[in-house]
Structure 1
Amino acid sequence: MRLRARHDGVLLRPLAGRGGAPLRLPAGRGGPRLTLVRQVLGSRPRLLWALAGWSVVEALPMAALGIVLAHAIDDGFAAGEPVTGLLWLGALGAAWVVGAVGARQVVVTIAGLVEPFREALLSRVVAGVLHRADGDTAALARTNLQVELARDALAAVITVLRSFVFSLAGVIIGLAALVPELVVLILPPVVAGLALFAASLPALARRHRAFLLADEATAESVTAMAAGLRDVSAAGAEERIGDQVVARVDAQARAGTRLAGLTGARTLTLAVGGWLPVVIVLASAPSLGAGPGVVLGALTYVTQSLVPALSNLFEGLGANGVRLGVSLGRVLESAPVPPPRSVLEGGRSGGARLRGVRFAYGPHAEPVLDGLDLDLAEGEHLAVVGPSGIGKSTLASLLAGLLSPDAGWVLVGGIRADLIDPVNRVLVPQEAYVFRGTLLENLMYLGCGEIMAAVRAVGAEDLVARLGGLEADVDPALLSPAERQLITLVRAYLSPARLVILDEATCHLDAAAEARAEEAFARRGGTLVVIAHRISSAVRARRVLVMDGTGVMLGTHEDLLDRSPLYADLVGHWRIA
């Protein structure tokens, strides 16, 4: 029933894949993530220059702070000139007013940079979801949340990086104006602190990503448990399901502990890069002939500008920078960008190739297919036979791009099956879909062509006549299952698809009608794969794939009668019947 539900209504539109295997990004590397950020930010150079200019204005008070305090003390209050000291402090107050204006414009400019970034990510998400067309609204909601997190994280990263760069520049300029020798003394510990921080970032990224994945796993486990409480209770599985949820919670707790342990290492980097320069100033400034005002000014630069800038950098980049990388990685995994149209059109051949294909319905389920290799040439007519539940419909869904393999790959026309333009393949399921409207609208939904020729080829002319012609209104509830199948078969016949997959699509037709429809598709051109309902479908096919649950066997009808006991048994039962 699970497979059947996945196929209901598939013929409503040409199939689109589910997005394929996720794009795996190394946890500690930038790759496509940094490229995406550079592309979006680099497309707005005027805003970047504006951000730099307003950052200079915002940093002006802190750059002037130490110099102003040194002059206010040494030339003003300590020299018995309080008016001079107050004038210097008044100048500092004016600088703060100017800096406030710059700070406001910095916020506005950063918003102008990150909102287009958010729009670009959302466009990518929407394009990826529309390309997959898998209807996974929960995944879409999670991806949208990651987009918002990425936007906020990028704004925070830009803010802290900009603040650190301009604060450090202000400290260097200010100290150089007061005591140039101090610049040479404090830069080595600052560089050492930055190096320690940079060395910890890859591990921090990995642990942050592990914590995020553990959090998502816990949420999914709790949601699944809550949704199935009645079934859990009916099956007496409370303890087992409870243990599974507890295990997810414990895994998240361990991931959080590991993340917290590494985050605490930032204290060491701040001690080296921020507080060691304070000791250097206190120990060196008097010996360099600096007066009380100069010493206070130098300490102000270090304690009020350098230390906060380093702290914000370590905390902001360590948290928001890692969050940005992880969120972008999740967006790229959940919504990989659709390939260019030229690539999609490369799959117009109906030939297919499967290598090492493995697929299971869930991480702990037994694989339905495991290590499957199969080649289908353009124009191939293949029948797939085997007991019910053996994986025939799963194979059909993989060829159509509706499912993606857990391992291995499926190519159609040389392109990954889930990335092929949907018009290039069509899957007709057992449960045929017919919508309210005219018969003509139903038949022409997937393509165009000589309608009555297709009707005659498939064997639906009597049905068209009974309904009152092509312009007659169709009520699906008044059609028999066989009549609905005939309509969907004509619809598929008229489509431009080079790969047609009939998944027991003729099971409600009698043997003669089934033979006529399959022979029509065989003459139509392109590749035809028939999930056989009757063994007669295998007799008509050029080759037959036998699936028995332990392996597969491929050959002609005559060949398999000798080589496959299962196939010979199926043929024997059919002949007796």
Structure 2
Amino acid sequence: MTHRNGLHRLHGHLGHRALRFPYVGRRAVVRLAGWSVLEMGQTFLLGYALARALDDGFLAGRAAVGLGWLAAAGLGVLVGAYGTGRVYGAVAALVEPFRDRLVTGVVRRGVREGDRGALSGLTQQVEIARDTFAGLVMVSRSFVFTSVGALAGLCSLAPLLLLPVVPPLAAGVALFAATLRPLARRQEAYLAADEALAENLGAVCPGLRDVTAAGAEDRIAADAGALADAEQRAARALARWGVARVVCLALGGHLPLVLLLAGTPWLLDHGVTPGAVLGALAYVSQSLLPALTSLIHGLGTSGSRLTVVLRRLTPPPPAVSRPAVPELTPHPPPPCPSTPAVPPALALTSLTFSYGPACAPVVDDLTLALPSGAHLAVVGPSGVGKSTLAGLVAGLLKPVRGDIRIRGCRVPGREAAAGRVLIPQEAYVFSGGLRENLAHLRPDPVPEAELLAAAEAVGLTPLLNALGGPGASVDPAALSAGERQLIALTRAYLSSAPLVLLDEATCHLDPVAEERAERAFAARPGGTLVVVAHRISSARRAGRVLVMDGPRTAFGTHEEVLRRSPLYRDLVGGWEPGQLSQPALALGDADGVDAVAGAGLAGDGCHVVAHGPVGQVQAPGDLREGGPLGGEG
């Protein structure tokens, strides 16, 4: 549903739904109309009884007759109130089938299609749609039946009374109908701008430390400022069109009162009685004006609100890909369009990224290609852009310039997102069963033999046995950071994604456990491995090394990069083949890393971790990362 014809389609959408209601829904419409007739009778009696009480009673000197007509008007109010009470029941019988259809659609999409927004649709948006639809039915019904009753009363009192009432009323309603579509567009534009700003702030606020560490304050402020300015412009446009509602109300509701009062001498000269004039004033001020006010405010605001909610509850098939999410490969990779040659597992072409227009590029004109089965280690000092590169490949960041492709599929994109899995430094483990955690990225059940083989390959078996096997429950708070990393690594190993991105995903493991996990991924059939390394031993194991050093970035084998890159030679330092990187002193958990949890986990042998504040001990030969925790890596 587009902004241009949103309200028009809304009316058609609701009409078609009403026509598809079961028999009980159509019967509810008849009941609603029947009870509304009582309200119409109340409206008719309001002005007619007042006119008769004045003309035939009090002005004629017959007070009893006047009081009798007033009593009839009071009785009409009681009957109308009874009808109004029954109207709510009829509206409920009409609206609940509408709600049931929406709930059915939301549940079907959530259960059958795995829509993660189904819960919000079921618990909030369906109720908004139901309540708003009920309100629209009430105000529309009230205006129609009130107008019929009031106009019938005016005609019965004196047809001349229609002249000062009907033309401005019709003009006001017509003008309001003409403003509905642009008003709905402005309302939707304002809601979209508000949601965009809220989404931006929701993403930025938790990462303010990283924004400061990366020097991206100006860019983030500019982006948020642009969204705030867009919302302000949308709000002003909505306010300008809101003035049209005031004009419609003044034209259709208040102008008839002015015309009646100004034209009273002329009406009296043409045979209209004083009681009829008073009855006409009552019809306009007590019936038509309140009904028109409710219609204008109800349709003007709630109508566009219902349009937005219905559009979200019944979305069209996705035309664009979803944003990439770390560790999210819910389905096997869809096939990409065939090409004459086998595309590389990962191809970067002139890739450039910076955190602001005035900032130096973190990734500068980088071009490389990895064939299927390759093993790449990305090294460099803290803050040079290693994690930024991983975020770009995963589709979490948008490059300033250049092209990223995974197996020939452009990043970002649904096919590319399904072809990769990213494990960040802080591994995610959810409460529940261990089997569910390990098989989280597989759409189909994982055979236990395959699960156990993956655990053995990655090095999870000791922890798996300690927890009680695949069927054991997992409490993330009771696990160390290294244990959580082992679970996340096994989950990635079991996924269907051929490209695995390990963004310091083994930093809480000791070198032996890290080597075992990396070799398992490197030997994974058809798999390609990219490791953001925090130990030089990871780079030595890789077939290719990418040294990120600003404009002096180097790419090649270990020996090639060692010859070409002074930074890499400095990072290698005193590392000797056959030795494991060892820290000079015990860490003492200086940076708050989880304590020892067992063999193969950080702290067990006083092994080094990736980042830390002042006081962290760095192992000789390890990559020299002394940046602040949470900084660009």
Decide: shared fold, TM above 0.5.
yes
Q: 1:75 to 1:441 in 2, by over 3 A?
A: closer
* Residues 360, 369 of structure 1: 8 Å contact kept: yes
Of 39, 43, 56 in structure 2, the residue corresponding to residue 62 of structure 1 is: 43
Structure 2: distance between partners of 1:247 and 1:424: 34
**Deviation at residue 98 of structure 1 after TM alignment:** 1.6
Deviates more, 1:409-418 or 1:269-278: 409-418
Aligned length: 522
Show the counterpart of 2:76: 95
* Residues 376, 531 of structure 2: 8 Å contact kept: yes
* Residues 407, 416 of structure 2: 8 Å contact kept: no
Deviations 1:299-340 (A, max 9, x none): 3322322222223333444454466567x49x949x979969
- After TM superposition, the structure 1 = structure 2 runs for residues 216-227 of structure 1, keeping only pairs within 5 Å, are none
Of 265, 277, 282 in structure 2, the residue corresponding to residue 295 of structure 1 is: 277
Structure 2: distance between partners of 1:372 and 1:30: 48
Report the residue type matching 2:273 in the other structure: G
In the alignment, structure 1 residue 52 sits paired with structure 2 residue 37: no
In the alignment, structure 1 residue 309 sits paired with structure 2 residue 291: yes
Report the residue type matching 1:385 in the other structure: V
**Deviation at residue 101 of structure 1 after TM alignment:** 0.9
- After TM superposition, the structure 1 = structure 2 runs for residues 361-376 of structure 1, keeping only pairs within 5 Å, are none
Structure 1: distance between partners of 2:431 and 2:234: 53
Deviations 1:209-254 (A, max 9, x none): 7887999999999999999999xxxxxxxxxxxxxx9999999999
Structure 2: distance between partners of 1:202 and 1:350: 42
**Deviation at residue 34 of structure 1 after TM alignment:** 6.5
* Residues 347, 420 of structure 1: 8 Å contact kept: no
Structure 2: distance between partners of 1:227 and 1:431: 15
Of 518, 521, 528 in structure 2, the residue corresponding to residue 518 of structure 1 is: 521
- After TM superposition, the structure 1 = structure 2 runs for residues 201-350 of structure 1, keeping only pairs within 5 Å, are 263=242, 266-281=245-260, 282=263, 285-286=267-268, 288-321=270-303, 328=309, 332=312, 348-349=333-334
SS of the equivalent of 1:530 reads strand
Of 159, 166, 172 in structure 1, the residue corresponding to residue 151 of structure 2 is: 172
Deviations 1:119-169 (A, max 9, x none): 8589959988996879xx9xx79x978877766555444332222122112
Of 421, 425, 428 in structure 1, the residue corresponding to residue 423 of structure 2 is: 428
* Residues 493, 521 of structure 2: 8 Å contact kept: no
Structure 1: segments with no counterpart, 5+ residues: 1-23, 231-244
In the alignment, structure 1 residue 460 sits paired with structure 2 residue 442: no
* Residues 60, 95 of structure 1: 8 Å contact kept: yes
**Deviation at residue 184 of structure 1 after TM alignment:** 5.9
Deviates more, 1:266-275 or 1:107-116: 107-116
Structure 2: distance between partners of 1:454 and 1:52: 64
**Deviation at residue 206 of structure 1 after TM alignment:** 7.1
Q: 1:294 to 1:449 in 2, by over 3 A?
A: closer
Report the residue type matching 1:55 in the other structure: S
**Deviation at residue 62 of structure 1 after TM alignment:** 0.4
SS of the equivalent of 2:530 reads strand
Q: Supply the RMSD in Å over aligned alpha carbons.
A: 6.7
Deviations 1:537-570 (A, max 9, x none): 7626xxx9887768999xx958x999x9998667
Q: 1:355 to 1:304 in 2, by over 3 A?
A: farther
SS of the equivalent of 2:165 reads helix
Q: 1:184 to 1:465 in 2, by over 3 A?
A: closer
Deviations 1:395-448 (A, max 9, x none): 6557667x4869999999989979789998644344556789998787566655
In the alignment, structure 1 residue 104 sits paired with structure 2 residue 107: no
**Deviation at residue 66 of structure 1 after TM alignment:** 2.9
Q: 1:291 to 1:479 in 2, by over 3 A?
A: closer
Structure 1: distance between partners of 2:502 and 2:31: 61
Structure 1: distance between partners of 2:35 and 2:164: 30
Report the residue type matching 2:494 in the other structure: L
Deviations 1:38-83 (A, max 9, x none): 6776655444443333222222210233333344444555556655
Show the counterpart of 1:186: 165
Report the residue type matching 1:270 in the other structure: L
Show the counterpart of 1:493: 493
In the alignment, structure 1 residue 531 sits paired with structure 2 residue 531: yes
In the alignment, structure 1 residue 163 sits paired with structure 2 residue 142: yes
SS of the equivalent of 1:293 reads helix
Structure 2: segments with no counterpart, 5+ residues: 210-223, 323-328, 337-344, 576-633
Report the residue type matching 1:539 in the other structure: G
SS of the equivalent of 1:531 reads strand
SS of the equivalent of 1:98 reads helix
- Determine which structure has the larger helix proportion and give its number: 1
Deviates more, 1:250-259 or 1:199-208: 250-259
Show the counterpart of 2:339: none
Report the residue type matching 2:519 in the other structure: R
Structure 2: distance between partners of 1:410 and 1:97: 73
Structure 1: distance between partners of 2:460 and 2:188: 59
Deviations 1:479-530 (A, max 9, x none): 9987775554444333455664443445645586356313332x1x4x6452
* Residues 423, 501 of structure 2: 8 Å contact kept: yes
SS of the equivalent of 2:76 reads helix
Q: 1:393 to 1:62 in 2, by over 3 A?
A: same
TM-score in terms of structure 2 length = 0.57
TM-score in terms of structure 1 length = 0.61
* Residues 193, 272 of structure 1: 8 Å contact kept: yes
* Residues 439, 494 of structure 2: 8 Å contact kept: yes
Structure 2: distance between partners of 1:317 and 1:476: 50
- After TM superposition, the structure 1 = structure 2 runs for residues 120-139 of structure 1, keeping only pairs within 5 Å, are 120=102
Structure 1: distance between partners of 2:5 and 2:458: 63
Q: 1:369 to 1:81 in 2, by over 3 A?
A: farther
* Residues 348, 413 of structure 1: 8 Å contact kept: no
Report the residue type matching 1:349 in the other structure: P
